[in-house]
Amino acid sequence: MPNVGPLVDGYGRIHNDLRLSVTESCNLRCIYCMDEDNVDFLKKSKYLSVSQLSELLRVFKKLGIKSIRLTGGEPLIRKEIVEIVKAISTIGFEDIALTTNGMLLQKYAKSLYAAGLKRVNLSIDSLDPLKFAKIRRRGDLETVLRGLEELKILGFADTKVNVVALKGFNDDEILNFIEFSIQYDVAVRFIELMPVGATDLYRDENVLTKNEILTIISSKWDFVENKRVNSPAVTYTGTEIPFTFGIISSMSESFCGDCNRLRLTADGFLRNCLFSTTESPLSQLLDEGANEREIETAVRTEIFRKRFGHGTDTVGYAVPNKPIYKVGG
């Protein structure tokens, strides 16, 4: 394992994008992510403090991390979220982004913008208030759309709308989402359902695949595929009207060969993949008073042992022992 130079895994993939979970808790209960009741969220006292986070982020910066995406759980329910964005901004990364369900976006967007947040991905799985309620179980579409309007008012660029594509739930809304992207001038990204939730919704028959999504869209629109640039999404642009949409096809066509991501859980465990079954407790190193060099070595070791692919299509695939809301989506 190289102990200088960029953060590489055993296959030579350079890692420069950190998904940073700031909480496991959530104000919604999406059917593909967590159960409706009795969810076992971590105690808040276990979360990394802002100063612990800053200490780790300084090491990540030295290791070549360029972009940070805040996630969770729902990152906007972490009460120090603005302070965290400020800390990341002060350390200095090329990009600071956030993935949110949008329920608290209108409230926090202005302070987050002032603190240095650059981009937002907003999850909206249905444009029909009743279906929204069925999929997300709590919250409401209207509040989320007010959050989206607020982003526009503030001048946030490159906002994306995430849609988990679910057969039998929102497959009849794919074309509506394209209309929506034209109307709101945002890019929509359809995400294939993945077996990383704590629920039993994941079944092959519930996955709306990339090809099925493309077939639906091509029934109404002409579009061309764009060149892929270090993103999990394949993107497309309309040829008659300049709308853009993306598809994250983790299940039908994995993009592991280009992966540049690592993940830190809210309680300080480093994971080299959303589907990983191993992790390194960086929080423990902090508690033991480890120096920068020791933390750096732990990070390099965890990344170096990353598997080539998430392996969901291999015999003996085991669903990760931590669901997506505990790792950070």
Asked if 29 is part of the footprint of ligand SF4 (rule: CB under 6 A), the reply reads: yes
Give least dist CB 126 to ligand SF4, A.
13
Q: What is the DSSP letter of 54?
A: H
Nearest CA among 169, 163, 251 for reference residue 209: 251
Judged by CB under 6 A, does residue 147 bind ligand SAM? no
Judged by CB under 6 A, the number of residues near ligand SF4 is 11
- Cβ closest to ligand SAM, residue 99 vs residue 272: 99
CA pair distance 256, 213, nearest whole angstrom: 21
Q: What whole-number distance in Å separates Cα of residue 19 and Cα of residue 274?
A: 10
Closer Cβ to ligand SF4, 197 or 246, answer by number: 197
Under the binding rule (CB under 6 A), the answer on residue 162 touching ligand SAM is yes
Per CB under 6 A, contacts with ligand SAM among 72-91 are 72, 74
Residue pair 27/101 in contact by the 8 Å Cβ criterion: yes
**Which listed residue (16, 123, 126, 235) binds ligand SAM by CB under 6 A?**
123
Could you say whether residue 263 binds ligand SF4 (CB under 6 A)?
no
Among positions 36-95, residues that touch ligand SF4 (CB under 6 A) are 72-74
At position 45, the amino acid (one-letter code) is: S
The side-by-side arrangement of strands in the sheet containing 187-192 is: 223-225, 234-238, 244-248, 187-192, 160-165, 119-123, 95-100, 67-71, 17-21, 261-264, 269-271, 280-281
Q: Is 145 in the site for ligand SAM (CB under 6 A)?
A: no
| R_g over Cα of the chain | 19
Q: What separation, in Å, do the N-terminal and C-terminal C-alpha atoms of the chain show?
A: 28
Query: What's the rounded Cα separation, in Å, for the pair 60 and 70?
Result: 15
> For ligand SAM, which stretch binds (CB under 6 A), given 70-78, 210-218, 238-246, 258-266?
70-78
Q: How far is the CB of 168 from ligand SF4 (least distance, A)?
A: 18
Chain residues that interact with ligand SAM, rule: CB under 6 A = 26, 32-33, 71-72, 74, 99-101, 123, 162, 164, 191, 193-194, 196-197, 324-325, 329
Chain residues that interact with ligand SF4, rule: CB under 6 A = 26, 28-30, 33-34, 72-74, 101, 325
